[in-house]
Amino acid sequence: MLCQFDITEWADYVRDLVWPLQRRRMQAHLRRGCPKCSSNQEWLSRFAEVCAGLAIDNASKHAEQPIKAVPSQNQPRPMPALKRVWAILRYDSLNDCQSAGMRSGQPICRYLLFQAGNYSVDVRFEREKQSATLVLTGQIANRTDPKTPLAHAPVMLFSDSRELIRCLTNTFGEFQFEYFPQPDLHLRVPLETTGQELQVTLSDRRTFEIASLTF
């Protein structure tokens, strides 16, 4: 059976972010018994339930401050030596079958899931047609203690050895950047309390060339 919907669409489906007509189409596709889409819908539903539990457990009386990415001043503050933990890619939506009948006006998305020691890092790239910039949205979670989100941690986006931009995770371990596509992208997440620095390779020069064609 041909997969009609990709992982990003199922992520929106389980969070009730799709239009009613799209939801009916996706429900009909599930009823036809597509094993890949059924599997994606099931594990994403479980993931959404965990995130919902985190939102309840960590609800604050004050409104959550918006995520604000600020350009680097190229003068990083001194940090103690941290043990680098390299992330392992566990999932890439580019390896999925492509959606049938995708409209040219739709935004182009790519979803990646990494494991770095005791942490998971999920990342989503999105770009509207004709836009020169990409939006990178992600979330960092502690796999051994999922009810304790990684809040207010610095996340830095690098191209090779040059820092492009940085921000702090919000209460739920989420972060977001908007940037112009560049090669050799990676994230660095220093965790001073654990003495570690997570490093997540998003693209090397070869995959950047491929991604440029894809995006």
pLDDT digits (tens, 9 = 90+) for 61-82: 444 445 455 555 555 555 558 8
Dihedral over Cα of 47, 108, 90, 190: its sign: negative
pLDDT band, residue 209 (cuts 50/70/90): very low
Whole-number mean pLDDT of the chain? 77
What mean pLDDT comes out for the span 13-26?
A: 82
Phi and psi, residue 140, nearest 5°: -115, 130
Angle between helices 35-57 and 7-14 (to 10 degrees): 50
pLDDT of residue 97: 59
d(CA 215, CA 204): 15
Is residue 148 within 8 Å of residue 53, measured between CB atoms? no
For residue 208, pLDDT over 60 is answered with no
pLDDT band, residue 169 (cuts 50/70/90): very high
pLDDT digits (tens, 9 = 90+) for 82-114: 899 999 999 988 777 555 544 444 456 888 999
Q: What is the pTM of this model?
A: 0.57
